[in-house]
Structure 1
Amino acid sequence: MKYFFLIFESIRRNPVRTILTSLGTMMLVLVVTLVFTVLTAMDRATTEKSSNIKAIVTEKWQVPSMMPYSYAKALTEGAADPADKSAARPSDYMTWGFFVGSTESNPAKRGFENMFFSFVMEPEKTRTMMDEVDEMPDSEVRPLIDAIARMKEVPNGVIVGPERLEKMNKKVGDRITVYGRNYRDINLELEIVGTFPKEPARFADSAVIARDYFDRQLDAYKQSHGGKAHAMADRSLGLVWLRVKNKPTFNKLTEQIIGSPSFSSPAVKCETSSTGISGFLEAWRDIFWGVRWLLTPACMIVLSLVIMNAISISVREREPEFAVLKVLGFRPNQILMMVLTESVLIGLLSGLFSAAVSYYVINNVFGGLPFRIAFFPKFTVPEAALWWGAAMGAGTAFAGSFVPAWRARSVKVSDVFARVT
């Protein structure tokens, strides 16, 4: 017990150095926590699954994908022959179109702050097929379920993410006009019927518009323009999501879709959602590699050097103390462990505190880390960050303090007292 009392007394003895070391640890742990928050989310999104697989069907030769909506019915059935009972069929589906507009009527004043990004889709699929939302219990998405039901009663209803609602200074029940940008001259009069839950954060800035309502607006455009269809009318299907139970079913489904003559102009491709997302993130690949293998190790090395410098100064100042401890009967390894424990304790507590504060503030105050990558506008700090921070703080503290601790272990009593006298 007295041994641990000595450790805590040593930490308390120089509060300025302890606080500075702790702050340095917390700042670098914060940086690495933010980095790993993004990398973990990307890894999770691009990891292949062996069951409950989501497939994505897109246009083969063009990005962004813009297929005719006439493809939708056959694709949602997996291009299966109705007479073939052995054909692979998806257990669920979701079609996506994209309507990008602005709530500002004056083109000169349009910017990111009034941009309006929405999925054009079947509202009920928001609950069963949207990533992460489909895995949440009903108790956590009850307002969303109610909003989906409301869209059946309100044809021009829209579900808007909480962050976009806040930016627009609107609430559920308000009406908005969205002026089309990718669908020029298509302006939508919408009624906000509900919102997404705060988690997952990726949909906080998005919206959902009913496909039936959107198609009626395209038909109305055609009628008002002398029978001339909108330029995007036959290119309104972006992606089709299909859920299959396992990899063999996915492979067979892919063969059916690719081999179907119904999808030849334009041609389509079918891939797992993880592969598709990897394709979207291809432009970020080198950045992710550099952050993972260069920035993160560099942060840990810098942290180790900071701790090494602080502990080295402390060891030099405390050489007489270590000499007295040896005279009192402390063994060299006990002194080694005392210095290491002091450093590791500071690193562990500082790392844990930094990670815990990051977890709470980013998730509960800011609603996620606002760092847009492709269609990931925000990232939630995972609970695993708590042990990341503690392990990182303790590990770098151990690495940085080992050499100074060994020097303390090797202090010679005769040399120290010779200098004193």
Structure 2
Amino acid sequence: MFPNAAQYGQSAPVETSLIELALYGTVALIGAIFFLTILAIITLPLFFGAMYLMELVIRGFQNLVDPVGKYAKLAGLVFRSLRRNLLRTALTYIALFVLTGMLTMLYGVITTIGKMTTDQENSQLVIMSEKFGIPSMMKPGYAANLKGLMRDKLPKEMQPADIDQNFMTWSFVGGTLDPAKMTQENSLFLFALDPDAVTNGMMKEQGLNPEDLGEDGWAEMMRIIDLVKQDKRNIVVGADRLEKIGKKVGDEMKLFGTNYKDIEFECKIVGAFPPGSRMGMNAAMRFDYLIAKLDDYRARTGKDHPVADRCLNLVWVRMPNKAAYQQLAAVVAEPSSFSNPATKMETFSAAIGSFLEPFKDIFWGLKVLIMPAIVVIMCLVIGITITIGVRERWTEMAVMKVMGFQPWQIMTMIVSEAMLIGTFGGMLSTWAVYFLPMAIRSITKAIGVKFAFFDTFHSPWEIVLYGPLLGILVGLIGSALPAWNARKVKVSEVFATVA
């Protein structure tokens, strides 16, 4: 569905082998663990500071009348136990912070992909493409035919409010600055489309919208679009691609077509897509300039260009709802509508799903195997830490029973220790993963720098709540067995052993 450089005459990188993918994955995993560990160490003062403040508050209640004073003293024992071995407490917190951070990142990726591949009931962005051909190559007249079908065969309530403003065509143009020696450093991939498609919001999914660009960035994009409308030779190139090919805004260049052989495009760069954006490595030109060049080829050679009748690659339409899309898809599927070549309609989310189909087993493994395994490891970390602490305080537990502490009170104290570490570890980890990218986006936006990951990936807001809840759950499960064992401590056996 989506363009591949090699399919349009561009030089493409060598396919990544499974060994290389495993290597990249290992490096990414090590990098994530290192990054989260650094964050955990940085937030250690927050963890211990919060515990100290909570302990001070608890002390203020210890002199009150029972039962408030009694339970406050029991809570004070929880903080004293955590202070007994600060190194162990710190290491446990760091481990939970790192594991929660990894779990949060995986959850964010899987949730984002799930939302992207799930059809919505409201406004539907749908794509018409060639049914049996890869890459999709359709007749240029198909765009006007589709508009006609929408006006003639769809009820008024099933049509977009304004068909022209909710309609966009894409043609893919590959080019090189040096036809004798084509490399990544002198190649360019362009989307040929109507400039009004950007103004009408049809390129929103590609990052060309006020939300992604900001108020000033969107105003600058509108200024660039006005320049593109002034001359069909004017193009916009991503800032990252400009750097790679050694050009800048204002330069003029001759582009030799790679998928449109024997066609030369005289272009002037009048603007740049922001660095790090989804269009940062691509470029855009006017569709009518491509058509004009195909007409020039026919006038020059006396025959049509080999791909002149197949120069339309994708047609995008924003339909009002899912029912409208389904009705349009049924009309397009009729043989009388489009037959040479046949076409199909699918939603943007379905197209992404098809694109990600080869990776579905990996996502399944992350969701069903890796994420539950991380939760189990977190429970084991808590369980081992609390078990060691209980063993060290076995005699103390017996003394507490002699002093009148009930078994449930001892059990509650131990579980509270685990839940306290788990809550802070989960909360600070998820908050760091959620709020840190937001802070980086704000800073980079202020200084005019963009990073692709931070500008396009947004963690789901619910992780801010899930982090502390996960910490509480992990603390409860992990400490259940050692707390139960401490509850059953027998005073006579402990003192007999001591004697």
Superposed counterparts of 1:215-234, under 5 Å: 215-222=291-298, 226-234=301-309
Alpha-carbon distance in 2 for matches of 1:308, 1:164: 52
- Higher alpha-carbon Rg: 2
SS of the residue aligned with 1:261?
coil
Task: Compare the two structures and name the one with the higher helix fraction.
Answer: 2
- How far apart, CA to CA, are the structure 2 residues paired with 1:144 and 1:117? 19
Contact 1:76 1:242 in 2 (8 A): no
CA apart distance, 1:67: 1.3
> In structure 2, the residue corresponding to 1:81 is in which secondary structure?
helix
* Structure 1 residue matching 2:320: 3-state secondary structure: strand
Correspondence 1:183-198 to 2 at 5 A: 183-184=260-261, 188=265, 189-196=267-274
Q: Could you tell me how far 1:205 is from its partner in structure 2?
A: 4.2
> Out of 166, 191, 194, which is 1:122 matched to?
194
Aligned residue among 150, 160, 163 for 1:90: 160
> Contact conserved, 1:79 with 1:257, CA < 8 A, in 2?
no
Q: Retained in 2: the 8 A contact 1:144–1:196?
A: no
The match for 1:410 is: 488
Match of 1:390 in 2: 468
Measured in 2, the distance between the counterparts of 1:143 and 1:110 equals 28
Contact 1:56-1:271 within 8 A present in 2 as well? yes
After superposing the two structures, state which structure 1 stretch, 258-267 or 360-369, moved more. 360-369
Deviations 1:299-354 (A, max 9, x none): 22222222222221122112223233333333222222222222222222222222
Q: Could you tell me how far apart the structure 1 residues matched to 2:256 and 2:483 are?
A: 67
- The letter of the residue matching 1:90 is P
Counterpart position of 2:215: 139
Q: Which amino acid in the other structure matches residue 289 of structure 2?
A: Y
Matched letter for residue 224 of structure 2: A
Give CA deviations for 1:222-243 in whole Å, capped at 9, x if unaligned. Answer: 556x245444333332221112
- Shift, 1:22, TM fit: 1.9
Structure-2 separation of matches of 1:62 and 1:242: 20
- TM normalised by structure 1 equals 0.82
2:113 aligns to what? 42
Shift of the 351–302 alpha-carbon distance from structure 1 to 2, 3 Å rule, reads same
Give the AA of the match of 1:48.
D
The residue number in structure 2 matching 1:307 is 382
For residue 412 of structure 1, what is the amino acid of its counterpart?
K
Where structure 2 has 5 or more consecutive residues not aligned to the other structure, the ranges are 1-57, 59-72, 442-449
After superposition, residues 15-414 of structure 1 pair within 5 angstroms as 15-81=86-152, 88-91=158-161, 92-101=166-175, 107=181, 109-110=183-184, 116-127=188-199, 128-132=201-205, 139=215, 141-161=218-238, 164=241, 173=250, 180-184=257-261, 188=265, 189-196=267-274, 202-222=278-298, 226-259=301-334, 261-362=336-437, 364=440, 367=451, 369=453, 379-414=457-492
After superposition, the Cα gap between the structure-2 partners of 1:252 and 1:399, relative to the gap in structure 1 and judged at 3 Å, is: same
d(CA) in 2 for partners of 1:240, 1:11 = 62
The amino acid across from 1:286 in the alignment is D
Deviation at 1:32, TM superposition (A): 1.9
**How far off is 1:149 after superposition?**
3.0
2:107 and 2:422 mapped to 1: Cα distance? Answer: 19
Provide the identity percentage: 36
8 A Cα contact 1:78 1:90, kept in partner: no
Residue aligned with 1:54, SS: strand
CA shift, 1:47, in A, is 1.4
Shift in alpha-carbon separation, 1:261–1:298, aligned structure 2, 3 A: same
TM-score by structure 2 length? 0.71
Residues 1:269 and 1:408: Cα distance change in structure 2 (over 3 Å): same
Q: Which amino acid aligns with 1:411?
A: V
Deviations 1:179-227 (A, max 9, x none): 65544555653414243597xx544544433222333344445556x24
Structure 1 counterpart of 2:193, one-letter code: M
Give the CA deviation at 1:35: 1.7
Question: Once the 2 structures are TM-superposed, how far is the Cα of residue 264 of structure 1 from its aligned partner?
Answer: 0.8
Are the structure 2 counterparts of residues 254 and 108 from structure 1 closer, same or farther at C-alpha, using a change threshold of 3 Å?
Answer: closer
Alignment CA distance shift 1:411-1:238 (3 Å) = farther
| In 2: Cα distance, 1:302 partner to 1:103 partner | 54
SS at match of 1:263: coil
Of stretches 207-216 and 334-343 in structure 1, the one that deviates more from structure 2 is: 207-216
